[in-house]
Amino acid sequence: MIELMDVRKVFNAGSPSEYSAINGVSLHIPENKVTVLKGPSGSGKTTLLSIVGCMSRPSAGRVKLRDREITSLPERFLTDIRRKTFGFIFQQPNLIKGLSVLENVMLPAYPLGEKRSQLKLKAHNGLQELNLANKAASKVEWLSGGEVQRVSIVRALINDPHIIIADEPTAHLDTKLSHRFMEIIENFKAHGKTVIITSHDYRRSALLPTLERYLVSCLGPLYS
């Protein structure tokens, strides 16, 4: 599904502050599986996800998606791949202040040209799944931290992506909502989706009873 071959990511190359966030990572992420990248904060997990999700390019190495080399594709092609293939749940939700919850959820789907009535229904259904239907008209700046995180989850799913990339997705959720999110993840897998999650908290990892595979990413030694 996704393959990384000897991937490196260097920041501030050529300067006194140069450092390698990831260094020589090779891995295969299978299709229709839930894969967890575990490691402490600062170990390079988020950097690795950004490369997997075509949000940044590696400094060296190659990335393949469904056996297609994507490392050197022009940005316009990477944008199309991101929009149609991936759904992103970030550590920082990055919702747009001044817009309602419903508008934030619908925003990523506009470029695909779906009818607004259908899109609105899909967004409402997603909000209902995470107990947010009563917040649809609220401005996002009025929400609690947990509500903001749940809105970002619904937004990530609006385009029905085949691959879900989640960076610490349950960090701001209570135990009940964390379990609800894991039920949604189980449903993704049942429908043939691929899920990649990062976690540094063993208690959060324990909320993943449906995992078929743990990918223990030993990135700590690679971080300098």
pLDDT digits (tens, 9 = 90+) for 47-76: 999 999 988 999 999 999 988 999 889 988
- Counting beta carbons within 10 angstroms of the beta carbon of residue 76, is it exposed (0 to 12), middle (13 to 18) or buried (19 or more)? exposed
Q: Quick one: DSSP state of residue 139? A: B
Q: What is the rounded end-to-end Cα distance, in angstroms, of the chain?
A: 29
Helix then strand then coil, in percent of the chain rounded to 5, is 40, 25, 40
What are residue 168's DSSP bridge partners? Answer: none
pTM over 0.85: no
Give the three-state DSSP class for 18.
coil
Distance of CA 165 to the CA centre of its chain: 2
User: Tokens 């990339």 appear where?
Assistant: 165
Whole-number Å distance between alpha carbons of 192 and 195: 10
Tens of pLDDT, residues 106-138: 999 888 888 889 999 999 999 998 889 999 999
User: What superfamily does domain 2-222 belong to in CATH?
Assistant: P-loop containing nucleotide triphosphate hydrolases (3.40.50.300)
Average pLDDT over residues 150-156: 90
Angle at alpha carbon of residue 99, lines to 180 and 109, rounded to 5°: 65
